[in-house]
Chains A and B, each alone.
Chain A
């Protein structure tokens, strides 16, 4: 058989493509449910870890149910809209215009304090980066942050997924008084007393800038919601203070 005849070459190529294509599609389709389960469990794991809870992938679903007490979706004006916060694909949302985007929020109530977890997504050097950031009920103090990436360089940009990079976010403020400041990742290291900055990564500046931009862009969409909640907590804080002062006055009177 002459393997260099044109007809043979075409035949060979066609058969090869058919075999390879069917092999790969069978593999992709039959493994998809298992892969999706892994991705979903990982997302739950990530959300939980912003609350400081580390669980194995197997237990993630169970613990998630216990800890995440509420989740909802808002639009850019901070109004509630229909939708399942967990299944929203931010990658797709980001392609839409701001007005038609929806923004998911997860809530966790634990011993009287509420944490609000906001999912993030942005651009790294080679591909998308994403993460979650948890805010205290003052809507400004970060209580936890996780980041992950698709294809950043190991040892450089990929370091955003490690705890040494994520831990410094805890305790930072996204508001300075009433002004929205976000949190910047600073090349060359942040000043220790700066509440709005964390240390960057040597050799990973573009990814780190991506994290800064992502935080700024994503969080700014939640501003109406955050500010409203913030005012509520401030009011109630003032109320308690007032109540305290009246009771103090009573006590003082009584003592007299």
Chain B
């Protein structure tokens, strides 16, 4: 009990948020959550909606599991984690459907994808089961933001190059590029190009930080 109480935003706690944004990014470094990164990055809007929902679900799930961490039998911990995530997601979906119907329509497909997002379970398993609620909350937040910004970055390029719009707004048409003979690259809206775009982001990241390159 002699341990000094750690402040809420100590360097260590801040690292919990900043690390997953860059050097320990769940998508580019740990290569998790790729499936949803392929599926929903055709347009910017669904990517933003997905990012927000993952931020909510991941931070709350991390806190819940962390609160229960001493009660969960280790033999059924994976099932418990799944139940926590799934019920949170369904609960959020029900509330959205009743009060903000449009958002819930936007989210329809992703509800299932959030439950199966390996990053969420990965963080519950690797972090929340062994750490206090506040730290788990920060960790969840950090990882969700790390996932979210990659998603939005990929969606930005795919929508811009594939459809010539950003958030539904016809940017390239307004710039007059089509009159100069520019054409959209239809390949960008197909799933393989998401993988290539993520690959390029990983490449740039490793060029900047050589420690990440496996020997």
Contact = CB atoms under 8 A, between A and B. Distances in A.
Interface of A: 3-4, 8-9, 12-13, 16-17, 20, 23-24, 27-28, 31, 34-35, 38, 42, 57, 126, 150-156, 202-203
A182 B189 CA distance: 30
A9 B76 contact: yes
B75 A9 contact: yes
B73 A8 contact: yes
Contacts of A152: 109
For chain B, the bracket of interface size reads: 20 to 34
Interface stretch (B39-47, B130-138, B146-154, B175-183): B39-47
Given A4-B74, A12-B73, A16-B80, A27 B91 contact: yes
Nearest to A158: B109
Contact of A156 (B79, B80, B91, B189): B189
A26 to B, nearest CB: 10
B95 interface: yes
A155 to B, nearest CB: 3
Interface stretch (B15-23, B96-104, B206-214): B96-104
Contacts of A156: 42, 189
A38 B101 contact: yes
B102 to A, nearest CB: 9
B46 A57 contact: no
Given A3-B70, A151-B108, A24 B91 contact: yes
Contacts of B74: 3-4
A150 B97 CA distance: 13
Contacts of A153: 39, 42, 109
Nearest to A19: B87
